[in-house]
Amino acid sequence: MQMLDFKMNIKLFRSKPGCFGYSINPVFYGAAFLMATSAIGPGFLTSTAVFTSRLFASFGFAILISIVVDLIAQLNVWRIITVTNLPAQDIANLLLPGLGSFLSLLIISGGLVFNIGNIAGCGLGLNVLFGMDITTGALISAGISILLFLLKDAGKAMDRFAQVLGFLMIGLVLYVAISSQPPIAEALYKTIIPDQIDFMSIVTIVGGTVGGYITFAGAHRLIDAGISGVDNKKQVDKSAFMAIGIASLMRILLFLAALGVVMKGSLLDEKNPAASVFQLAAGNIGYKIFGMVLWAASVTSVVGASFTSVTFARSFHPWLAKKQSYAIIAFIVCAALLFALFGKPVKVLIFAGAFNGFILAFSLGIMLIAATKSRIMKGYQHPRAYLIAGSLVALLILVFGTLTILHEFGKK
């Protein structure tokens, strides 16, 4: 009888998603992996290889700063959204009517552009793996993404998909990082005492990790699964930590893999620097691993971008909220058709990537101002330390993001 009572208590304990002290509800893991795998896309792989080839071990400093900035941004956004149990656009509209609609348009348009690039990345990945036509591979990958949202419990399927491919990517990149034999001691030293500090690299990788739609991917997944309120704040913080930890681990492993290659004097192919890293580090096997990592990174980003963009779009019409899975499928189909018809819009993608930092500063600023309004926060007081740190991050990213955009586009 006592054993029966014990088992019942354990079952009840596990069923409460807000219970503190237990690894609990798998949605927290799903949200973390959704955010992390949304960040790890084709641009993530490319930017890490490019900046490592430019800065060598000193790029470790940029990664360290970006991890701190990413974490501050995500802790604020996830906490504010889940405490209010409102998506970001509704919070913004409560702050100023119409502001949420403007934010939604920014996120949706950026998400669509990035999705075209993500779908292109899927096609390139399958081309490397099987020699498949890029457009055919892209459309097949879009079909796989669509199948997820046709399942009865699409949310759980999306979570599991992100977790499995997330672990796969980490394992494969770890193998390549070990194969490249990077100078670990020098990397650690230059991470603390860099030869040079490149603010453009910081802004770019911050924007690529938590900018645009990625800022809200995990938090929107949590409230979509019914997880909200002050009681869940500690678990939400843990999930945000986990999300940044996964993305940062992937960034560090890619950095070490690239560092091992460039420190040996090898030159990366400017057309595909990330592929060069894998091939130079582990030969033909490494090149095939790159294809697998690129496909996994791209297809999970397709899922994350589509889900998050539609969570913003559904505020425009009740049908989009009621038929969310179909709206997500339509979003994927639209991006796939645009890619099939016009190919990868490189210039637009470059501008969208640079603009990510600005969107992060803008959206984070909205969330922080809303956090000071008791009518929005329903009596909850956001920690002062979070507000101060978040405000500094938003200001720094806005300033350096603006300077980076002016510098990059002013020289052309």
The answer to whether the beta carbons of residues 76 and 368 sit under 8 Å apart is yes
- Residues 14-62 pLDDT 10s: 444 444 344 468 899 999 999 999 999 988 999 999 999 999 999 999 9
Q: What CATH number does the domain located at 26-410 have?
A: 1.20.1740.10
Quote the CA–CA distance of 89 and 104 in Å, as a whole number. Answer: 6
Confidence of residue 128 (pLDDT cuts 50, 70, 90): very high
Model pLDDT, residue 203: 83
pLDDT tier at 349, thresholds 50, 70, 90: low
Please tell me the predicted confidence (pLDDT) of residue 315: 87
Angle between helices 26-39 and 233-262 (to 10 degrees): 40
Nearest to 206 by CA among 394, 20, 373, 77: 394
Segment 295-336, tens digit of pLDDT? 999 999 999 999 999 999 998 888 888 899 999 999 999 999
The structure's pTM equals: 0.89
Q: 20-29, 125-134, 188-197, 364-373: which has the minimum mean pLDDT?
A: 20-29
**What pLDDT shows up at residue 354?**
60
**pLDDT for position 409:** 58
Q: How far apart are CA 4 and CA 30, in angstroms?
A: 31
In 3D, which of 312, 407, 293 has the Cα closest to residue 357?
A: 407
Q: What is the mean pLDDT of residues 379-402?
A: 91
85: left (phi over 0), alpha (psi -120 to 50) or beta: left
